[in-house]
């Protein structure tokens, strides 16, 4: 992976996220530090994409609370900050899921995002791979308080490979960064502003550039889909395998995921890492060219390496994942050796876990009277 081939930067900033402390290199963002810890400590990200320069900061789903700025300046930050664009300081303390403010703000963001994104997952091609679906599931509420007409768009043809369904766009700007950074003769971008803003091409031009297909992969929702695949299958019915080919395009990494049904290649995409981003290889970001993506639809075009690595919680993994990881006995093992997260310290609440108390010496069943109440909690109850 790209990061491993580079000389390791000095990891000397300590940051604590939801009570888990980790050391990271200066310049690391809170989000990337949290990704190193992994699990639900990691804020969701709809607009940030580590392989696209300048991305992030827009959707506000990754907001976190900085309860301590740094060792030098321990003051908390006055507002929630976008973790994808805020770098850590030494001694910083961050609250993600342990902050009510964050949960509240994130619920708000989900509600805002769903105002102009129809929940038509059953008929959307992105279902099963949609980050907004996951976000809504984790942070949304059933029902909506929005009682007005939502925005709708005329269908617009933006070329032979990509279908734009503007109604579903959440304006994350990722595809515009792809257009900017990966393709020459850019014709695509954002028009208008506010909630009228829309993705479009410059005066109805077609998007035909060699690397334009990568826009499909970065789109977190079903706004940009693959015309050669749409509605041919649901992703969870296909079998994802890693494959590669000798692509003559020097900017194409030639490593892809094929989505198979039997021997038929239904779709070709980039390989994705655990954050749903393109997987980096050999110092290359891992993008693929349109030829690999749209034209190489025979298994004979590819050398197949084996089953793709799909998160076992994903719907795509349902029913066909090999060697399912059965949870191990101890939490430490399941959590890759790291200490379990402290959500609430029981000692703060009562002496029930007091190691100096020997339960076997208590006559009969233990009762709350046997334990000294925590004075802080008493205060709290009285106030």
Partner 1 sequence: MARKLLLEKAHVENIRLYDVYRREGGYRSVEKALKTLSPDAVTEEVKKSGLRGRGGAGFPTGMKWSFLAKPEGVPRYLVVNADESEPGTFKDRYLMEFIPHLLIEGMIVSAFALGSNVSYIYIRGEYAWIPDILEQAIAEAKQNGWLGKNILGSGFDCEIYVQRGAGAYICGEETALIESLEGKRGNPRIKPPFPAVKGLWDCPTVVNNVETIAAVVPIINDGGEEYAKIGVGKSTGTKLISACGNLNKPGVYEIDMTISVEEFIYSDEYCGGIPNGKKLKACIPGGSSVPILPANLLLKTTKGESRMMNYESLSDGGFATGSMMGSGGFIVFDEDQCVVRHTLSLARFYHHESCGQCSPCREGTGWMEKILKNIEYGKGKMSDIDLLWDIQRKIEGNTICPLGDAAAWPVAAAIRHFRDEFEWHVLNPDESQRRNYGLMHYADPIHVPVTA
Strand blocks (E) in 50-118: 63-68, 81-82, 92-95
Residue whose CB is less far from ligand FES, 80 or 308? 80
Q: Determine which residue in the list 197, 260, 307, 317 makes contact with partner 1, applying CB under 8 A.
A: 197
Per-residue contact flags (x/-) with partner 1 for residues 28 to 57, judged by CB under 8 A = ----------------------------xx
Q: Write the DSSP string, 148-207.
A: SPPP----EE--SSEEE-GGG-----HHHHHHHHH-SS--EEEES-GGG-EEEETTS---
Is 237 a binding residue for partner 1 by CB under 8 A? The answer is no
* Closest of 44, 55, 150, 50 to residue 106, by C-alpha: 44
Answer yes or no: are the C-beta atoms of 199 and 188 closer than 8 Å. Answer: yes
Q: Which of residues 199-258 bind ligand FES (CB under 6 A)?
A: none
The three-state secondary structure class of 47 is coil
Dist CA 217 CA 194 (whole Å)? 25
Contact characters 30-69, ligand FES, x per CB under 6 A: ---------------xxxx-------xxxxxxx-------
Exactly one of 2, 25, 38, 58 binds partner 1 (CB under 8 A); which one?
Answer: 58
Minimum separation from the CB atom of position 178 to ligand SF4 (A): 8
**Interaction with partner 1 in 82-121: which residues (CB under 8 A)?**
82, 85, 104-105, 108-109, 111-113, 115-116
Q: Which of 274, 246, 269 is nearest to 257 (CA)?
A: 269
Q: Is 110 in the site for ligand FES (CB under 6 A)?
A: no
Instruction: Tell me whether residue 62 or residue 265 sits nearer to ligand FES (CB atom).
Output: 62
DSSP 8-state assignment for residue 281: B
- 341, interface contact from partner 1, ligand FES, ligand SF4, none, CB < 5-8 Å by kind: none
Q: Which does 268 bind (CB under 5 to 8 A by kind): ligand SF4, ligand FES, partner 1, none?
A: none
Q: Within 13 Å, how many C-alpha atoms sit on residue 129's CB side?
A: 27
Looking at the DSSP bridge assignments, the partners of residue 272 are 278
In the complex, the residues that contact ligand FES under the rule CB under 6 A are 45-48, 56-62, 82, 84
């Amino acid at each position: 992976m790209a990061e491993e081939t580079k000389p390791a930067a000095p990891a000397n900033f300590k940051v604590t996220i939801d009570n888990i402390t980790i050391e990271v290199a200066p310049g690391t963002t809170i989000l990337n530090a949290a990704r190193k810890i992994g699990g639900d400590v990691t804020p969701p990200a709809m607009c940030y994409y580590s392989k696209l320069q300048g991305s992030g900061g827009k959707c506000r789903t990754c907001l976190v609370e900085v309860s301590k700025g740094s060792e030098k300046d321990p003051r908390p930050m006055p507002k929630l900050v976008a973790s994808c664009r805020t770098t850590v300081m030494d001694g910083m303390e961050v609250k993600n899921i342990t902050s009510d403010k964050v949960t509240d703000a994130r619920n708000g963001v989900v509600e805002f995002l769903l105002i102009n994104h129809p929940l038509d997952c059953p008929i959307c091609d992105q279902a099963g791979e949609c980050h907004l679906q996951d976000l809504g599931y984790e942070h949304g509420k059933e029902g909506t308080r929005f009682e007005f007409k939502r925005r709708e768009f005329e269908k617009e043809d933006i070329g032979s490979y990509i279908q734009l369904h503007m109604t579903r766009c959440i304006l994350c700007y990722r595809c515009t960064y792809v257009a900017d950074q990966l393709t020459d003769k850019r014709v695509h971008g954002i028009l208008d502003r506010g909630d009228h803003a829309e993705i479009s091409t410059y005066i109805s031009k077609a998007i035909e550039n060699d690397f334009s297909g990568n826009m499909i992969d970065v789109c977190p929702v079903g706004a940009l889909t693959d015309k050669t695949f749409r509605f041919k299958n649901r992703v969870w019915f296909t079998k994802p395998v890693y494959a590669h080919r000798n692509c003559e395009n020097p900017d194409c990494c030639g490593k892809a995921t094929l989505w198979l049904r039997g021997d038929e290649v239904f779709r070709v995409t980039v390989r994705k890492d655990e954050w749903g981003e393109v997987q980096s290889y050999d110092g290359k970001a891992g993008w693929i060219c349109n030829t690999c993506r749209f034209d190489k639809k025979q298994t004979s075009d590819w050398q197949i390496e084996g089953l793709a690595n799909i998160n076992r919680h994903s719907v795509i993994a349902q029913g066909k994942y090999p060697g399912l990881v059965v949870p191990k006995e101890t939490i430490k093992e399941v959590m890759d050796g790291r200490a379990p997260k402290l959500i609430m310290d029981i000692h703060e609440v009562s002496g029930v876990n007091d190691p100096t108390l020997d339960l076997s010496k208590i006559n009969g069943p233990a009762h709350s009277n046997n334990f000294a109440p925590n004075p802080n909690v008493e205060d709290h109850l009285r106030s």
